[in-house]
Amino acid sequence: MGTGEDDSGRDPARDKIIKKLFDELLFSSRTDERCAGCVWLVSIISYSRKHARVQKMLPEIQEALSHLLGDQNELTQEMSSLGMSIVYELGDAATKNELVQALVNNLSGTAKKKRAVKNRKSQLADKGYSRAM
Residues near 41 by beta carbon (within 8 Å), at least 6 away in sequence: 21, 26, 61, 64, 65, 83
pLDDT at 117: 54
Range with the poorest average pLDDT among 76-80, 81-85, 109-113: 109-113
pLDDT at 111: 64
Average pLDDT of 90-94? 87
At 92, the pLDDT band (50, 70, 90 cuts) reads confident
Say whether pLDDT at 104 is over 50.
yes
pLDDT at 65: 93
pLDDT digits (tens, 9 = 90+) for 8-54: 667 788 889 999 999 999 999 999 999 999 999 999 999 988 888 89
* Mean pLDDT computed over every residue of the chain: 81
